[in-house]
Amino acid sequence: MSALNKKNILLGVCGGIAAYKSAILARRLIDAGAQVRVVMTSGAQAFVQPMTFQALTGNPVHTSLLDTEAEAAMGHIELARWADIILIAPATANTLARLAHGFADDLLSTVCLASEAPLFIAPAMNRLMWAHAATLSNCKTLNDRGASFIGPAEGIQACGETGAGRLLEPEDIRDQLATLLQSNAAITTSNEQTTQTLAGKHVLVTAGPTREAIDPVRYISNHSSGKMGFAIAEAAVSMGARVTLVAGPVSLSASDTIQRIDVVSAEQMLDAVMQVAGNCDVFISVAAVSDYRLEEIKEQKIKKNDEQMQLTLIKNPDILKQVSSREDRPFCVGFAAETENVEAHARGKLVRKQLDMIAANQVAQPDNPVFGSDTNALDVYWPANDGHQAIPASSKTHVAQALLTIIASQLGKKPEGSQG
């Protein structure tokens, strides 16, 4: 069954000659089991008649923000809520710019702002417009916010030039969308929003950095913001789990339903985790625990008298390894923040730390700062059959839901009573 089956897809059509291909795309999406509603910009209507899409989708086509009759039938907020997925094809340079800057002066841009649905963009434009720094920067902005791009293709363009900027063929757009959705298991149909796949489970999550004191005013730490761990804790609650969150020093708040234990150092985090580890079903170790701490914490502030100074560091306990070594171990999930050879390092860690699963992200790409960002992309690995699933770039909330969906499905495959 296609990943598009039963999905509510809002298809945004913009004003480019490639708009004629969107009619075939609408048909292909419906063939794959999706319900499709079309929003056309005014530019799009210069190329294709709304009637074409109405006939193909069986639904009225939405063209105007300020039309009382249309708003009475299905208002723009209702439309935004209806969508499980927003797909814009073709997306013009103009629409990319307006979405990147948060405009809300026509129906399509307003619906995009008002919707939490993941956004997929299939651009189509002249090759120089596509290559222009302004367009590239708008794409990056949208990508950073979690939008996924499908295409464009290279080839002969309607303007007679050859290069990148052609809309992908409708079947390719449909297939790429389905693949992206398959790996992003979190995107649910509107009536699946309350899946309780972790009902009855106790999930323990660590999040944020740890701080290792040097003296009363200084410490060693890292850039972890805690956003990924907090998103996982919240997503676990929404999937029915009881959640304990052990948080390093971060400036984030968590829902009241989450039992939160605040800690500062790695040793404090270990203590807090060990108190809960024997009594939970899943341990997700998202925290960026400092690998080393000071051998000796000075009681008084160190004075800057010497030209050089040396600090002696000793290794911190590996919290995850200690949990996975317990006889009564929960299902253990680690995180790997790698800067190179991501798969090899992540799989190495999976074995060394005796984990059930590991989620790897690349942290050192200059244009993809994971730390502190609101978006992320993961590669998830598990031992059985060299298991692997990619979670494409999306908001940390979506990525968290996708990861927990994978965890829940693997958890279900573990034989009853097996530990590890």
Q: State yes or no: residue 204 binds ligand C5P (CB under 6 A).
A: no
Q: Please enumerate in sequence order all residues whose Cβ is within 8 A of that of 66, keeping only pairs 6 or more positions apart, or say none.
A: none
Quick one: tokens of 367? Answer: 């244009």
Nearest approach, Cβ of residue 223 and ligand C5P (Å) = 14
Choose the binding region for ligand C5P from 4-12, 144-152, 282-290, 388-396 (rule: CB under 6 A): 282-290
Q: Of the two residues 9 and 289, which places its CB atom closer to ligand C5P in the complex?
A: 289
* Range 60-119, binding ligand C5P (CB under 6 A): none
Q: State yes or no: residue 287 binds ligand C5P (CB under 6 A).
A: yes
Q: State yes or no: residue 316 binds ligand C5P (CB under 6 A).
A: yes
What is the rounded CA–CA span in Å between residue 65 and residue 414? 51
Quick one: tokens of 206? Answer: 């660590």
Choose the binding region for ligand C5P from 43-51, 106-114, 179-187, 286-294 (rule: CB under 6 A): 286-294
Exactly one of 14, 112, 139, 159 is catalytic; name it. Answer: 159
Measured CA to CA in angstroms, residue 369 lies from 4, 115, 354 at distances of 31, 25, 28
Q: Of the two residues 126 and 316, which places its CB atom closer to ligand C5P in the complex?
A: 316
Q: Pairing state of beta strands 153-156 and 331-338?
A: unpaired
Please, what's the b/e burial string for 265-296 (b: 16 or more CB within 10 A of its CB; e: otherwise)? bbebbbebbeebbeebebbbbbbbbbeebbee
Longest dimension (CA), the chain: 81
Quick one: tokens of 320? Answer: 């995850």
Q: Of the two residues 274 and 302, which places its CB atom closer to ligand C5P in the complex?
A: 274
What is the rounded CA–CA span in Å between residue 19 and residue 47? 7
DSSP letters, 2-23, are: -TTTT-EEEEEE-SSTTHHHHH
Q: Find the binder of ligand C5P among 4, 18, 19, 320 (CB under 6 A).
A: 320
Choose the binding region for ligand C5P from 20-28, 96-104, 237-245, 314-322 (rule: CB under 6 A): 314-322
Q: State yes or no: residue 34 binds ligand C5P (CB under 6 A).
A: no
* Range 326-345, binding ligand C5P (CB under 6 A): 334-336
Q: Find the binder of ligand C5P among 293, 349, 396, 398 (CB under 6 A).
A: 349
Measured CA to CA in angstroms, residue 41 lies from 53, 88, 134, 281 at distances of 13, 11, 21, 50
Q: Find the binder of ligand C5P among 285, 376, 389, 397 (CB under 6 A).
A: 285
Q: Find the binder of ligand C5P among 84, 106, 212, 318 (CB under 6 A).
A: 318
Q: SS3 for 56?
A: helix
Q: Of the two residues 117 and 359, which places its CB atom closer to ligand C5P in the complex?
A: 359
Residues in the interface with ligand C5P (CB under 6 A) total 13
Please, what's the b/e burial string for 94-118 (b: 16 or more CB within 10 A of its CB; e: otherwise)? bbbbbbbeebeebbbbbbbebbebb
Q: Of the two residues 16 and 334, which places its CB atom closer to ligand C5P in the complex?
A: 334
Choose the binding region for ligand C5P from 43-51, 145-153, 281-289, 382-390 (rule: CB under 6 A): 281-289
Quick one: tokens of 331? Answer: 């299902």
Nearest approach, Cβ of residue 89 and ligand C5P (Å) = 38
Q: State yes or no: residue 152 binds ligand C5P (CB under 6 A).
A: no
Quick one: tokens of 165? Answer: 């900027």
Nearest approach, Cβ of residue 114 and ligand C5P (Å) = 36
Residue 167 — left, alpha, or beta (φ > 0 → left; ψ -120 to 50 → alpha)? beta
Q: Of the two residues 97 and 274, which places its CB atom closer to ligand C5P in the complex?
A: 274
Choose the binding region for ligand C5P from 155-163, 219-227, 317-325, 386-394 (rule: CB under 6 A): 317-325
Q: State yes or no: residue 289 binds ligand C5P (CB under 6 A).
A: yes
Nearest approach, Cβ of residue 255 and ligand C5P (Å) = 22
Q: Please enumerate in sequence order all residues whose Cβ is within 8 A of that of 27, keeping only pairs 6 or more positions apart, or say none.
A: 56, 170
Q: Of the two residues 71 and 291, which places its CB atom closer to ligand C5P in the complex?
A: 291
Q: Of the two residues 4 and 363, which places its CB atom closer to ligand C5P in the complex?
A: 363
Nearest approach, Cβ of residue 202 and ligand C5P (Å) = 18
What is the rounded CA–CA span in Å between residue 420 and residue 330? 8
Assess whether 139 carries a catalytic annotation: no
Beta strands in 328-410 (DSSP E): 331-338, 357-362, 375-382, 387-395
* Range 228-267, binding ligand C5P (CB under 6 A): 266
Residues that bind ligand C5P (CB under 6 A): 266, 285, 287, 289, 291, 316, 318-320, 334-336, 349
Looking at the annotation, which residues are catalytic? 159
